[in-house]
A and B are shown apart, each in its own frame.
Chain A
Amino acid sequence: EVQLVESGGGLVQPGGSLRLSCAASGFTFSSYSMNWVRQAPGKGLEWLSYISTSSSTIYYADSVKGRFTISRDNAKNSLYLQMNSLRDEDTAVYYCARRGGSCPTNFDYWGQGTLVTVSS
């Protein structure tokens, strides 16, 4: 069974940093590109970042470019999101999502999310 489990969320002050992790199981992690998507309280989904299987291709949304860094460790079946210079507006549930197959918008499996709260 495919499972994605996020961790690392919590309360952080504005300007602070946090590192999210996504532990993958039930599939060959190294064969799939991955994404981070977030959802602010009561709001819609926002795509944040993409990483290819070998980490050779990485993309970011403008809203997080220069502040967030996506990475992966295929040996540990894990995906990461290093978040620096956090702002109030980064408060959200953060999901990792697997890209299924060749369709770029097919996020076929999602974790349950981890809540990040940025507040003083």
Chain B
Amino acid sequence: QTVVTQEPSFSVSPGETVTLTCALSSGSVSTSYNPSWYQQTPGQAPRTLIYSTNTRSSGVPDRFSGSILGNRSALTITGAQADDESDYYCVLYMGSGSWVFGGGTKLTVL
């Protein structure tokens, strides 16, 4: 059973930089897993931020960036803003027709 782990919660002050991560229960996350990141506010459908590790989706501000940091996928928000307060989910393609979402990170901006 593959488990994808994210920080349950994170707090950041406006204007600061925050990095959220996405890890595998066993092994390292690499670009071959095609990690993508989604933002979701309460009552809304998820919105794509980053796909294929580091490609920003159309219309996403450039303060959002994706990378591989060590053995994890990472989403960095440079200069967090109040409306970045959301839940963030990563998803990995495990191969053989299997996708796994992380448990999500609740980001608070205050």
Binding site for B on A (CB under 8 A): 35, 37, 44-47, 50, 57, 59, 61, 95, 100, 103-108, 110-113
- A106 partner residues in chain B, CB cutoff 8 A: 34, 36, 48, 51-52, 57
Contact B100 A103 (CB under 8 A): no
B89 within 8 A of A: yes
- Kindly state the separation between the CA atoms of A21 and B101 in the bound complex, as whole angstroms: 23
Q: A112–B45 contact, CB under 8 A?
A: yes
CA distance A114 to B64 in the complex (A): 29
Say whether B15 faces chain A, with CB atoms less than 8 Å apart: no
Give the docked Cα–Cα distance between A47 and B101 (Å). 7
Q: Which bracket fits the contact residues of B?
A: 20 to 34
Check B97–A47 contact: CB distance below 8 A. Answer: no
Q: What 7 A-B pairs have minimum CB-CB distances, sorted nearest first? A: A59-B97, A106-B51, A105-B36, A47-B99, A110-B45, A104-B93, A103-B52
| B interface with A by C-beta (< 8 Å) | 33-36, 38, 40, 44-48, 51-52, 55, 57, 89, 91-93, 97-104
CB distance from B75 to the nearest CB of A (A): 13
A44 in contact with B102 given A103-B52, A108-B48 (CB within 8 Å):
yes
> A107-B46, A110-B45, A110-B46 are known contacts. Are A46 and B101 too (CB-CB below 8 A)?
yes
Q: How far is the CB of B4 from chain A (nearest CB, A)?
A: 10
Q: For B55, list chain A residues within 8 Å (CB).
A: 103
Output the nearest chain B residue to A60 by Cβ-Cβ distance: B97
- Given contact pairs A45-B89, A45-B91, A106-B57, enumerate 6 new A-B contacts (beta carbons under 8 Å): A44-B104, A45-B40, A45-B46, A47-B91, A104-B34, A112-B44
- Sample of 23 A–B contacts (CB below 8 Å): A37-B101, A44-B101, A44-B103, A44-B104, A45-B38, A45-B89, A47-B99, A47-B100, A50-B97, A59-B98, A61-B98, A103-B34, A103-B36, A103-B52, A105-B33, A105-B35, A105-B36, A105-B91, A106-B34, A106-B48, A108-B57, A110-B46, A110-B47
